Amino acid sequence: MTLKLYNTLTKQKEEFVPIHGNRVNMFVCGPTVYDYSHLGHARTYIVFDVIARYLRYRGYSVFYLMNITDVDDKMIKRANETGLSVKGLADRFTDAFHEDMKRLNVMSVNLYAKATEHVDEIISQIKTLIEKGFAYDVDGDVYFEVRKFKDFGKLSKQALDELKAGARIEVDEKKRRPEDFALWKKQKPDEPFWASPWGNGRPGWHVEDTAITTTYFGNKYDLHGGGIDLLFPHHESEIAIAESATGEKPFVKYWVHSGFLTLNKEKMSKSLGNFFTIREVLEKYESEVIRFFMLNAHYRSPIDFSDKGLDEAKQGLERIKNTVDNIKAAAKNAGEGSEGNIPDIIAEARQKFLDAMDDDFNTREAISAVFELTKSVNQAIPDGLSSSALNMIISTYKELGGIIGLFQDEKKEGGITGDLISLIVEIRENARKNKDWETSDKIRNKLKVLGIVVEDAEDGPQVKIR
């Protein structure tokens, strides 16, 4: 099946054909690092982590670039509130962001590009826009003149004459028109600044991303991702800046947007104050549960956050992981046996999984295929399967799970920890043989509290690690 994705620019699914053969340049808007990231951010970054993983699985060479906004109005405001410097604040929350992403297994980004490390490129792009007549300087502030770019609104499908100053457009008397937006902001007292042809100041938000992407990708690239809330004005403004500066269209071939994560049906955001940080939720739920919760929905659909939803995700994930644990245990003791219809079961599940991913990265249907595999496997396990058949199943979970970043953790198995678990289980077995049931039960209950479940079977104790 051909890989198709929904392009926000054309409002339809399109066959994915990269600009340069097998190479894919992919950019996703990163965080503004003035606070801890919340679950809405987690959804976006998990979604695009999976997209990058799947493109690589399909054989594409992916360069995944993400920016870090480490200077802007929110950064300055928060720094003043905390008494930190803007750089100190940025460093603190950039480190926290990377820690959160690592815990969520978001590991596919090739390069994180900080805005403050690309100021020269930003200034160069602004100079080009002024020279071409798309931007103007007013006493040290530089604005993009939106009406000079005739295609403004083509991504969000908003007519320029219908835009209002209240629709996330900054009101500023210096501007020629309300819809014009800042490319460079003149320094105010006690603000960080860089020297420029227009005086000391700092970059505007939209131009950071275009300067960064044109630096690494050139004038055109394949895929731009982000949350749907960034479609207007941010992504619309990016198109205007880049296509005006370079004179080439389209700036981006495929625009991909993830849906909102809502709380009580309202968008989760810091500005509304209705959010949970990733760290807060990780205190209560394992990272795989959060990832499974996010991916068990199509990326363009809204998800309403709730403990109930996470609890259901935990139960669904446990069903799959229990099956994997059982197969691993069975494989250790399996003999020659038979493959049965396992090759057919695996082929069918894999095909359904890949068909779902080829259809606009439909992780919900892909996970459904994994559930079908799990059901079939559970029915087949008692049939005396061979070790090769059982290992084939284990490899399939690892293969498909690797695409969505699940079912991979070996947890506490192996190494010193695994040896200690084996030793404790052996001590418990000796207690059982000596009919010391009190000690046996005490060890099992203590292990259970630690997430280590011991089940007694005819062929010896089976250990499952949670």
Q: Which of 18-27, 187-196, 213-222, 429-438 has the lowest mean pLDDT?
A: 429-438
pLDDT tens digits for 166-180? 345 556 778 999 999
Mean pLDDT of 124-135: 98
Q: Where exactly are the structural domains of the chain?
A: 4-303, 307-404, 415-465
Q: Cis peptide leading into 233, omega within 30 of 0? A: yes
Q: Do the strands 61-68 and 23-28 form a parallel or antiparallel pair, or are they unpaired?
A: parallel
User: How far apart, in whole angstroms, are the C-alpha atoms of residue 16 and residue 13?
Assistant: 9
Instruction: Give me the pLDDT at residue 167, please.
Output: 45
Instruction: Give me the pLDDT at residue 429, please.
Output: 86
Q: Select from 437, 429, 433 the least CA-distant residue to 455.
A: 429
User: How far apart, in whole angstroms, are the C-alpha atoms of residue 380 and residue 339?
Assistant: 10
The pTM is what? 0.86
418, pLDDT greater than 70:
no
Number of CB atoms found within 10 A of residue 436's CB: 14
- Give yes or no for a contact between 38 and 275, defined as CB atoms under 8 angstroms apart: yes
What's the CATH number for 4-303? Answer: 3.40.50.620
pLDDT tens digits for 248-307? 999 999 999 999 998 876 666 666 666 789 999 999 999 999 999 999 999 999 999 888
Q: Do the strands 141-144 and 181-186 form a parallel or antiparallel pair, or are they unpaired?
A: antiparallel
Name the most confidently modeled range: 222-236, 321-335, 423-437.
Answer: 222-236
- In sequence order, which residues have a C-beta less than 8 Å from that of residue 311 and are 6 or more positions away? none
Signed CA dihedral, 346, 349, 353, 358: sign only: positive
466, pLDDT greater than 90:
no
User: How far apart, in whole angstroms, are the C-alpha atoms of residue 7 and residue 408?
Assistant: 31
- In sequence order, which residues have a C-beta less than 8 Å from that of residue 340 and are 6 or more positions away? 380, 383, 385, 389
Token pair for residue 7?
A: 């392009």
Region class of 306: left (phi > 0), else alpha (psi between -120 and 50), else beta: beta
Q: Please, which pLDDT band fits residue 197 given cuts at 50, 70 and 90?
A: very high
Identify the architecture of domain 307-404 in CATH: Up-down Bundle (1.20)
164, pLDDT greater than 90:
no
Token pair for residue 171?
A: 């009101």
Instruction: Give me the pLDDT at residue 174, please.
Output: 84
Q: Cis peptide leading into 189, omega within 30 of 0? A: no
Burial bucket for residue 84 (CB in 10 Å: 0-12, 13-18, 19+) = middle
Token pair for residue 129?
A: 């826009």
User: How far apart, in whole angstroms, are the C-alpha atoms of residue 214 and residue 371?
Assistant: 42
> For the chain, how big is the Rg over CA atoms in Å?
26
182, pLDDT greater than 50:
yes
Burial bucket for residue 426 (CB in 10 Å: 0-12, 13-18, 19+) = exposed
Signed CA dihedral, 51, 95, 115, 182: sign only: positive
Mean pLDDT of 186-201: 95
User: How far apart, in whole angstroms, are the C-alpha atoms of residue 68 and residue 70?
Assistant: 6
Mean pLDDT of 375-402: 90
**Does 4-303 match 307-404 in CATH topology?**
no
CA dist list (Å): 99 to 279, 290, 358: 10, 15, 31
Percent helix, percent strand, percent coil in the chain, to nearest 5: 50, 20, 35
Instruction: Give me the pLDDT at residue 462, please.
Output: 74
pLDDT tens digits for 37-74? 999 999 999 999 999 999 999 999 999 999 999 999 99
pLDDT tens digits for 318-362? 999 999 998 988 888 777 778 889 999 999 999 999 999 999 999
